[in-house]
Structure 1
Amino acid sequence: MAKADKAAAIAELKEEFQSSSGAVLTEYRGLTVAQMKELRTTLGEHARFAVVKNTLTKIAATDAGLDDEFKSLLQGPSAIAFVKGDVVEAAKGLRDFAKANPMLVIKGGYIDGKSMNAEEVTKLADLESREVLLAKLAGAMKGSMANAAALFNALPTQAAQLAEALRAKREEAGETADAPAAEAAAEAPAE
């Protein structure tokens, strides 16, 4: 590879690292071309899967500000899934493909400014998608608001019920609303 080609490849990888929301590093040894094509199709819009040269990727990762933990994973034949969409969906796609094709090995990744090992990437894949999590949050917030509205509505209702119960109790006892006024008039001296 000529020096200009290497510089262009490094610049392209650096741009991919900086513009991606994450990168998952894999080992693809033993996968056929058809399986690689299937993997790219599986990832779809969530990630771009590319075979990379380790030395150029290390340089690009350094230029992009990635830490040494990620760069230490660059050994053996490496391919990177540069995540463009939902990180969880991309991790799920890689995990599911790796289950069906054991030749694909997830080495680790770099997601939202943090290096992750293979186990952490798999845990990330176990999460629900962003849309589902947001829907659950919205449901919980709506439930809280409904509870608050019911509580605020209950206070005047309870006060009205208490006043009605007090009025009914006075009626049972034979008191009327005018009874205290009549008693006061009876006690007053006649002129």
Structure 2
Amino acid sequence: MEREPRAEKVSVVEDVRERFEDAEAVLITEYRGLSVSELAELRAALRDAGTTYKIYKNTLVRLAIEDNAPEGMNQMLVGPTALAFVEKDPSAAAKALKTFASNNDALIIKGAILSGGLLDEAQVRELAELPSRDELLASIAGGLAAPLQSIASMMNNLL
């Protein structure tokens, strides 16, 4: 006879499923060896990048994503795993993780899910090198503004 799952486990599985559905990307890390204060520092850095850092049991994560998990995802869900759910800019979140990992050897970047595909650790580090969405928008705005400033300056000289 099969046991009924406990209500809190069902609730956690549903929470994980919703977070995966709502996230732009999910970064996968191993946090073994990080102190509570280091985890708090990491959470704060990721929060500034529009990201929520959560620790769940691997078995509950597997249950939550079993129908939608990219191939290879289950191999990343080994050991003490934490998930960073990116709400806005995956590049900014990857930068924050990479920066923290460079100062804390205990944090290991395992990979990410982005646009339904699985990225390995090297690809996440490449993602961190890309300009953030805000940097790209600023660059485009600057590129558009330069010719207008030039025209305004020319008109001013004519008057």
Do both proteins adopt the same fold according to a TM-score greater than 0.5, normalized to the shorter chain? yes
2 CA distance for matches of 1:29 and 1:43?
18
Show the 5 A alignment for 1:88-107.
Answer: 88-107=91-110
Partner of 2:29: 26
Which of the two has higher C-alpha Rg? 1
1 CA distance for matches of 2:122 and 2:21?
24
- Give 3-state SS (helix, strand or coil) of 1:115's partner: strand
2:19 aligned with 1:16, yes or no? yes
Relative contact order (C-alpha < 8 Å, sep 6+): which is higher?
A: 2
Unaligned runs of at least 5 residues, structure 1: 150-191
Partner of 1:113: 116
2 CA distance for matches of 1:44 and 1:57?
21
1:59 CA drift (Å): 1.3
More helix by share: 1
2:66 aligned with 1:62, yes or no? yes
2:54 aligned with 1:50, yes or no? yes
Q: What is the percent sequence identity of the aligned residues? A: 36
Unaligned runs of at least 5 residues, structure 2: 152-159
1:14-55 CA distance string (max 9 Å, x none): 000000111100000000001000101111241111111111
Would the aligned equivalents of 1:51 and 1:79 in 2 still touch at CA under 8 Å? yes
Aligned residues: 144
Give TM-score scaled by structure 2 length. 0.83
Backbone CA RMSD of aligned residues: 1.8
1:31-90 CA distance string (max 9 Å, x none): 000100010111124111111111110111224x22122222111110011111211111
1:139 CA drift (Å): 4.1
Give TM-score scaled by structure 1 length. 0.69
